[in-house]
Amino acid sequence: MAKTTLALKGGVMSTMSSAAPVIAEGLRKSYGAVNALDGVSLNLQPGEIYGLIGPDGAGKSSLLKIVAGVLAQDSGELTVFGTKIRNERDADAVKDRIGLMPQGLGQNLYADLSIEENIDYFGGLRLIPKNVLEQRKNLLLQATRLDRFRDRPMKNLSGGMKQKLGLVCTLIHEPRLVILDEPTTGVDPVSRREFWNILSRLLKEKQITALVSTAYMDEASRFHRVSLMHAGQVLASGVPSELRHLASGSMLSMNCEDPQQQLRIVNEVQPVFPQLEVLGNEVRIFSDVPAELAISQLSQMAACSGLAPATETDPELEDTFIALLRQKYGASAPSNHISQSHKIAGQSGMAIEARQLSRHFGEFKAVDRVSFQVPQGEIFGLLGANGAGKSTVIKMLTGILTPSDGAGWVAGADMRTAGLQIRERIGYMSQAFSLYLDLSVTENIRLYGGIYGLSESGIRDRMGWILDMAGLRPYANALTAGLPMGLRQRLALGCALIHRPSVLFLDEPTSGVDPLGRRAFWDVLFRLSREEKVTILVTTHYMSEAEHCDHIALMYAGRVVADASPEQLKQNVQSEAGQLLRISGADSARLAEVLQREGFASAAVFGPHVHVFVENASEAENIIRSKCDPGELIRISTQKLSMEDVFVHIVSQLEKQSQTPAQTAAVSTESV
């Protein structure tokens, strides 16, 4: 694969001063036959947040470890704070100016130590004088709102609290460069936004530079500059807003509310325009030709007749990333057409019904009178912060946990009395474990077929269907451990479907999957729901994935607090909170603090931008401009609401209304 690096204005600079925190040129690193880094170049400017964005296996962690001095490159040049890093002694010379937070919730912390004990331990490792440590500790605990939890053991913290504590321990010695490896993976959207706001403010106050990796494309707006990475190479580097328009072509949008019409559009249009996805009522199409020509082509297709013409819209960074992969390397998603000869038996009416479901653990109500309905063939999203009660609801519906009160039905079976009957009618794909990595693809399929009691002929029949559905025929005899994460997840999906269930439960199904793999995975789910009428209940922390759902129930502190389609939820929030504005060109950290003091409580930092809800846009603009420095070139634009905006607004309002001991205890219940 040829090396391709694209640099934009504001991206990779041709010359850098020796004061630059990091300058990397042509870094290479191999693990046996695998090239983790293939000629990667990078530079950081003082005080910026620089993002590395890409899937697992892109090389992000290897690059971060090399910069942090805990891994040696095979070749290439690395300079950190003016020191050329050629050996371990060179790396040791700059380590006191670097803070590293490894990947994984609380991976740099000690489970049995309290919050304060963890901080004291890291302060001792860094030989910080006790009086200085005490002062820094108090300031950081106040900034992260962990002050009142000082004595709580780390193992009892929520995911968001663990990451905030990890950040405190990383910053306790006031490094000049902080390196954060996927710090928000597995963290709910509210905690993610709070984490980024805290980080932006602390870095601004201390003039610290940050190098951050993430698999969430939507986090790009929080960085000043980014590098898109794939297979050990940098696809593109630059300012996020400019990178969105890097791929040649155009982004089109069509509105279609009829599910079967959506399916006809996908079947007819996708062979011509392969980069297509359905988000609620919107069909989004990336065209490699100019918009005018693409719109004309679409209008001539039978599946699009009767609909309003497609309109040109702005691509998201994920759209650009996928387009770059297709255009540069010919990468494409497999054809996931599901043969009608393998029809999965379905029911009519409601596939899932929860009626006043409750589950108590002692005095604590993990689930409190939850009710919702899911029609057959619908994609239903169950969203909520860590500890909201989502996993407990799923365990009750699948018969794993007995409810304290209430009732539920899945695929026509009463969850209280059906037992094995429910398990025969559902498929379940967990995030933690669903495949045997030391078995081949076909061996995993045979194993699951046997578990579900299929005959040998039944297994052969379903194996062919799974290999075609998941695009796995070329990998049939490959070990599962060697599959890319996207293919591995589609294999796990196939194994969950081998017995033709009518209801499918998916728990964080695309965690760690690259954007191309996620698109292919959701294309399969779309076809399963529309063609096969399989009902799908999914939990996810990727708020962009919530857009794929037909309906969403948002949980908070064990209760369902919102229940509607994604579009209706957005309309409800906009009616309540007002218009969302994006402010560019100002000192974002300072402006966000000023606006919060002026009563704009929703003001949040997104890298060089500030996002804020306002009731009256013109009045708010006057106030905003009056609070900016005279020399700042301010640009204020309206912003389309995302599902993350919806999630954060609803949960934040609920947190303000009440903060009971039960809700505080919810931080550790998701593992129940």
Structure tokens at 347: 């029911």
Answer yes or no: do 590 and 501 share one domain.
no
Answer yes or no: do 304 and 357 share one domain.
no
Residue 369's pLDDT is what?
94
pLDDT at 9 over 80: no
Answer yes or no: do 510 and 614 share one domain.
no
CATH number at residue 104: 3.40.50.300
Answer yes or no: do 456 and 351 share one domain.
yes
Structure tokens at 628: 């900016």
Answer yes or no: do 138 and 230 share one domain.
yes
Residue 403's pLDDT is what?
92
Residue 586's pLDDT is what?
82
**What is the biggest distance separating any 2 CA atoms in the chain, rounded to whole angstroms?**
76
For 535, the enclosing helix (H) or strand (E) is strand 535-539
Answer yes or no: do 622 and 499 share one domain.
no
Tell me which residue of 35, 486, 15, 60 sits closest to 234, measured CA to CA. Answer: 60
Structure tokens at 581: 């504005």
**Is 306 part of a structural domain of the chain?**
yes
The mean-pLDDT minimum among 207-211, 333-337, 440-444, 624-628 falls in 333-337
**Is 12 part of a structural domain of the chain?**
no
DSSP reduced 3-state for 637:
strand
Answer yes or no: do 548 and 429 share one domain.
yes
pLDDT band at 198 (very low <50, low <70, confident <90, very high): confident
The Cα 67–Cα 234 span in angstroms is 16
Q: Could you give phi then psi for residue 18, rounded to 5 degrees?
A: -65, -10
Residue 58's pLDDT is what?
85
Higher per-residue pLDDT: 412 or 11:
412
- What percent of the chain is modeled with pLDDT above 90? 44
**Is 331 part of a structural domain of the chain?**
no
Which residues lie below 8 Å from residue 118, measured CB to CB, with a gap of 6+? 109, 110, 154, 165, 169
50 forms bridges with which residues in the sheet?
Answer: 211, 225
pLDDT band at 661 (very low <50, low <70, confident <90, very high): very low
507 forms bridges with which residues in the sheet?
Answer: 539
**Is 626 part of a structural domain of the chain?**
yes
Q: How far is CA 371 from CA 63, 472, 640, in A?
A: 47, 38, 30
| 321-378: pLDDT as tens digits | 889 888 877 655 444 455 444 454 445 578 999 999 999 988 888 999 999 999 999 9
Answer yes or no: do 146 and 256 share one domain.
no
DSSP reduced 3-state for 443:
helix
| 402-432: pLDDT as tens digits | 899 999 999 888 887 766 777 788 888 876 6
**Is 467 part of a structural domain of the chain?**
yes
Answer yes or no: do 163 and 292 share one domain.
no
The stretches of 30-129 forming alpha helices (DSSP H) are 60-68, 88-94, 115-125
Q: Give 10: exposed, middle or buried? Use CB within 10 Å, 0-12, 13-18, 19+.
A: middle
| 199-222: pLDDT as tens digits | 888 888 888 999 999 877 878 888
Answer yes or no: do 310 and 347 share one domain.
no
Q: What is the DSSP letter of 309?
A: P
Which residues lie below 8 Å from residue 599, measured CB to CB, with a gap of 6+? none
pLDDT at 137 over 50: yes
Higher per-residue pLDDT: 664 or 73:
73
pLDDT at 136 over 50: yes
Tell me which residue of 222, 225, 214, 128 sits closest to 168, measured CA to CA. Answer: 128
Mean pLDDT of 11-19: 41
Q: Decide if 54 contacts 215 (C-beta within 8 A).
A: yes
Return the top range by mean pLDDT from 143-157, 440-454, 508-522, 599-613: 440-454
The Cα 509–Cα 434 span in angstroms is 11
> What count of residues does the chain have?
672
Tally the C-alpha atoms within 13 A of residue 529's C-alpha that lie toward its C-beta: 26
The Cα 330–Cα 275 span in angstroms is 12
pLDDT band at 483 (very low <50, low <70, confident <90, very high): confident
Amino acid occupying residue 515: P
**Is 13 part of a structural domain of the chain?**
no
Q: Decide if 507 contacts 434 (C-beta within 8 A).
A: no
Show the domain range for 618.
575-668
The Cα 672–Cα 348 span in angstroms is 33
Residue 432's pLDDT is what?
63
- Buried b / exposed e over 452-472, threshold 16 CB at 10 Å, is bebeeeebeebbebbbbbbbb
The mean-pLDDT minimum among 23-32, 96-105, 170-179 falls in 96-105
CATH number at residue 285: 3.30.70
Residue 207's pLDDT is what?
86
pLDDT at 3 over 60: no
Q: Decide if 237 contacts 227 (C-beta within 8 A).
A: yes
| 452-462: pLDDT as tens digits | 889 999 999 89
pLDDT at 504 over 80: yes
For 44, the enclosing helix (H) or strand (E) is strand 34-44
Which residues lie below 8 Å from residue 661, measured CB to CB, with a gap of 6+? none
**Is 326 part of a structural domain of the chain?**
no
Average pLDDT across the chain, whole number: 85
Give the domain-ending residue among 314, 332, 361: 314
Mean pLDDT of 526-543: 88
**Is 16 part of a structural domain of the chain?**
no
| 16-55: pLDDT as tens digits | 344 789 999 999 999 888 889 999 999 999 989 999 988 7
For 621, the enclosing helix (H) or strand (E) is helix 617-627
160, 161, 167, 172 alpha-carbon torsion, rounded to 10°: 170
Give the domain-ending residue among 193, 212, 243: 243
Residue 15's pLDDT is what?
36
Which residues lie below 8 Å from residue 281, measured CB to CB, with a gap of 6+? 255, 256, 257, 567
Q: Decide if 40 contacts 214 (C-beta within 8 A).
A: no
Residue 338's pLDDT is what?
52
Q: Decide if 46 contacts 59 (C-beta within 8 A).
A: no
Give the domain-ending residue among 204, 228, 243: 243
pLDDT band at 658 (very low <50, low <70, confident <90, very high): low
Q: Decide if 613 contacts 583 (C-beta within 8 A).
A: no
pLDDT at 132 over 50: yes
Answer yes or no: do 178 and 212 share one domain.
yes
Answer yes or no: do 41 and 161 share one domain.
yes
DSSP reduced 3-state for 302:
helix
Task: Please count the other Cβ atoms lying within 10 Å of the Cβ belonging to residue 575.
Answer: 8
Distance of alpha carbon 561 from the chain centroid:
22
| Domain count for the chain | 4
Mean pLDDT of 99-103: 89
Q: Decide if 351 contacts 411 (C-beta within 8 A).
A: yes
Q: How far is CA 421 from CA 121, 346, 503, in A?
A: 52, 15, 12
